[in-house]
A and B are shown apart, each in its own frame.
Chain A
């Protein structure tokens, strides 16, 4: 028993050491930090213990003037006067982005996976091509996207203009006026269009989940599907009653991982931000980074944002796990 135990320790040791040194201790450090006013330069003796002040001023529980007037929090929020408006902007941007982009990515990858699981010659090539973006997604690719989405000389808008020109005669015959004065989106250079733009970029790297879905589709027992066909079930019924239950574990997994990554989105917003967006792409991770690394360098404040970020992610992910027994079908049963 003991040697096995010793071997067990050996197996888990590298990960365990990493977890403690590189994640757990820094996390606890940041929790303590979030309760101080440290700016990273003053010596420890001058740093003040501020308790929950960082959290309160972030969330707007303590806007001196309003507290004095005894205005309750709910109406302060309704009046649009929470403590740190940019924090709320970042929070809502991040949640909006995650809640839209993740399900969108799920749907898109499910659809493409369904296409790719049809046994056709050349399917392997297409599979590889679809997966490729997942490997290329990096700083360079984000820069490329910003060029592609350029309102003037980007390919995307050029294609849109081509489509407009193509349908011009039809539109003219139906509505009278042509497509000449139809506007093209200004994507990253508008406070409203920047959000769809960044979702587009995000969904582009869906290759990994496509592969996961293909594998899941292959695991659906063929005899079940064939039997259903013989019984006269239509495509929708076959999907709903046979395929979907087998796909639910994958959906759950992709949702969780996708959500975690989406809530932490940093590069997309950090690299593609510009002033025309008016903070339209300000995300929690970017705001955290900005608070910590540009004047006035509020490291405690930044740590508080980090913890709220963790909490928000957990709130979006945990219900899906908690209710998984209700909707996730487990064919093998868990060990």
Chain B
């Protein structure tokens, strides 16, 4: 029976931590329902007196938000497929195939994380201009198809390492090629890793801001991350509409997360294993 106070304490601590985690979200929700003047009221209120639901319809009509969301979905969808596909392939090679220079390749994966992305802005712009890719989605999508990010490769490698080697060996005895082992033996088991990478790279594409800014100049093609910026103008920020749109923009991420939460927990869990 001495356990009861302990459990209560644990719950209290957990509630405190979750409240802390949800604080910005709570602020966003309340602000999105306030008139603009009330967002800046002092002393601040934690509640909304009369929710301004029309903020949401205003936010959706003041800018072509639906269009931005559709664009974002398209970019993220194509990018995510590439990221999952190519990073799992690289991860597979690093975890499952033995070849000379494997350690070097792995070291390169880790080392490429060290490069500050701001250094790459100018050279990449030169490259994409040379390719004539300015004002297309290619600078946003194609990099995802070329390795899909060092962290994702690492995550796949770690996950593949947890799968028993015997499976490969058995398949190999049956005459299966590495490609078949990858596509028919390993990948079907690696769902948690796949879904984790899917979620992480979706979020990455969804929030990417600087690249779309540099590479897109047709408003009809803007993703939502650029659209959010349009509530800030020289004259003032529509904080309430910005928050309403932000919440609408967060929904897809939240939905995906809720659906595959269990897999993500398993997928992320493996990255801390000894390498």
Touching chains A and B, CB distance < 8 Å: yes
Interface residues of chain A, those whose CB is within 8 Å of chain B, are 3-5, 7-8, 10-12, 14-19, 21-23, 25-27, 29-30, 40, 112, 115-116, 118, 120, 123-124, 126-133, 135-136, 138-141, 143-145, 147-148, 152-155, 158, 161, 204, 207-208, 211-216, 218-219, 249-250, 253-254, 257, 260, 264, 266, 284-285, 288-289, 292, 299, 302-303, 306-307, 309-310, 313-314, 317, 328, 330-332, 334-335
A132-B22, A260-B113 as given contacts; A140 in contact with B97, CB under 8 Å = no
Q: By the criterion CB–CB under 8 Å, are B24 and A144 in contact?
A: yes
Closest to A148 in B: B27
CA distance A266 to B207 in the complex (A): 14
Q: By the criterion CB–CB under 8 Å, are A153 and B40 in contact?
A: yes
CA distance A307 to B90 in the complex (A): 27
Closest to A208 in B: B268
Interface of B is mostly: helix
Q: By the criterion CB–CB under 8 Å, are A8 and B178 in contact?
A: yes
Among B97, B177, B178, B250, contact of A136 (Cβ-Cβ < 8 Å): B250
Q: By the criterion CB–CB under 8 Å, are A8 and B97 in contact?
A: yes
Closest to B95 in A: A335
Closest to A306 in B: B119
CA distance A126 to B153 in the complex (A): 28
Residue among B109, B116, B119, B273 with most chain A CB within 10 A: B119
Chain A residues positioned under 8 Å from B22 (CB to CB): 129, 132
CA distance A51 to B31 in the complex (A): 53
Chain A residues positioned under 8 Å from B239 (CB to CB): 147
A7-B177, A18-B146, A154-B44 as given contacts; A115 in contact with B14, CB under 8 Å = yes
Interface of A is mostly: helix
A11-B178, A30-B123, A153-B42 as given contacts; A139 in contact with B209, CB under 8 Å = yes
Q: By the criterion CB–CB under 8 Å, are A306 and B207 in contact?
A: no
Closest to B144 in A: A18
What is the minimal beta-carbon distance from B81 to any residue of chain A, in angstroms? 12
* Interface stretch of the complex, out of B50-58, B59-67, B68-76, B257-265: B257-265
Among A4, A128, A153, A307, contact of B43 (Cβ-Cβ < 8 Å): A153
What is the minimal beta-carbon distance from B130 to any residue of chain A, in angstroms? 11
12 extra A-B contacts, CB within 8 A, seeds A144-B246, A148-B24, A155-B46:
A4-B177, A15-B86, A115-B13, A135-B253, A136-B25, A139-B229, A153-B43, A153-B44, A204-B24, A284-B116, A306-B116, A306-B118
